[in-house]
Amino acid sequence: MSKSREFILVIFIGAFISFIAGIVFNKSICLFINIFGLPCPSCGMTRAYISLGHLDIKKAFYYHPLFWSVPLILLGYKNKKIIYILGILFISVWLVRMYLYFPDIEPMKFNNKAIYVRIFNGLKNIIK
C-alpha cells in the first residue's frame, strides 16, 4: 500500500472513531477532548467550517483562526517543512487560545465527562 493511501486510510479511521465517540459521549466528535477533557489544537475547526459555509468569516476565525490552513496541510502533507511549520503554528495558537478562553468559553471548554476525568475522579473518591 502506498504512503498516500495509508495516510488517507488513517484519516478515515480516525474520523470514524471520532464520529462513534461523538455518538457515545453525546458531546464532541473529537477523540482528544472525549478522552482527556481538554480541547485539542484543532478544536473549533468543524464550527469554523460550518460558519464559513454560512459565509460568516468573522465567526469562522473566532472558532478557529487557522481554518484556512487545512487545505495547505492536505496538499502539502508530503512536504515535511510545511507540516512542521503548520504544526508549530497550530500548537502556538492552541496555547494562546487555552490561556485566553479555557475552561469556560466555547470552543475551549473543559469536558467533565471525558474518560480520564471520570477515571481520575473515581480513583480520587476511592482514596478518600
Distance linking the first and last C-alpha atoms of the chain? 52
**The model scores a pTM over 0.85:** no
State the pLDDT at residue 1: 61
Given a contact cutoff of 8 angstroms between Cβ atoms, the answer to whether 107 and 47 are in contact is: yes
Sequence letter at residue 3 = K
The Cα 21–Cα 12 span in angstroms is 14
Give me the pLDDT at residue 25, please: 56
pLDDT in tens, the chain (128 residues): 677 778 778 777 766 776 676 666 555 777 788 788 888 898 888 889 889 999 999 999 999 999 998 888 777 777 888 888 888 999 999 999 989 988 888 888 888 888 888 888 888 888 87
